Amino acid sequence: MLQQATKIDHKLQLERYKQFSQIEKEIIYYASRSYTRKEIAEKLGITNSIVKKHLNRVYKTFNIRRRYNLAMIMVWLEELYPMQVLRRKK
């Protein structure tokens, strides 16, 4: 099971990641670090329903169903392509 999960095409996932807007990348950042939708909404100054809408699009684009999978994808992308993955504004 774990071997199948590690055979994800990382370049394809990177291309998918690049198509997200900046706000979606911010949501991905927080969601992959276990922030709740409510916490993400508060941090970004948007509503919980907007966060949910963006997360649904992210899950659909990455073809995943769980936040755990999002976290795994982001760990791999940040490790393999650190210069091309989100650099958050300070």
Q: Are 51 and 9 in contact (CB under 8 A)?
A: no
CA–CA distances in Å: residue 34 to residues 4, 13, 19, 56, 83: 24, 20, 22, 16, 23
**Residue 86 falls inside a structural domain:** no
| Residue 64 is assigned to a structural domain of this protein | yes
39-66 pLDDT, tens digit per residue, is: 999 999 999 999 999 999 999 999 999 9
> In this structure, what token pair is assigned to residue 40?
């993400």
Q: What CATH code is carried by the domain that includes residue 39?
A: 1.10.10.10
Residue 87 domain-assigned (yes or no): no
DSSP 20: S
Enclosing domain of residue 60: 8-80
What pLDDT is recorded for position 5? Answer: 45
Report how many domains make up the chain: 1
Residue 72 lies in a domain: yes
pLDDT at 3: 42
* pLDDT score recorded for residue 4: 46
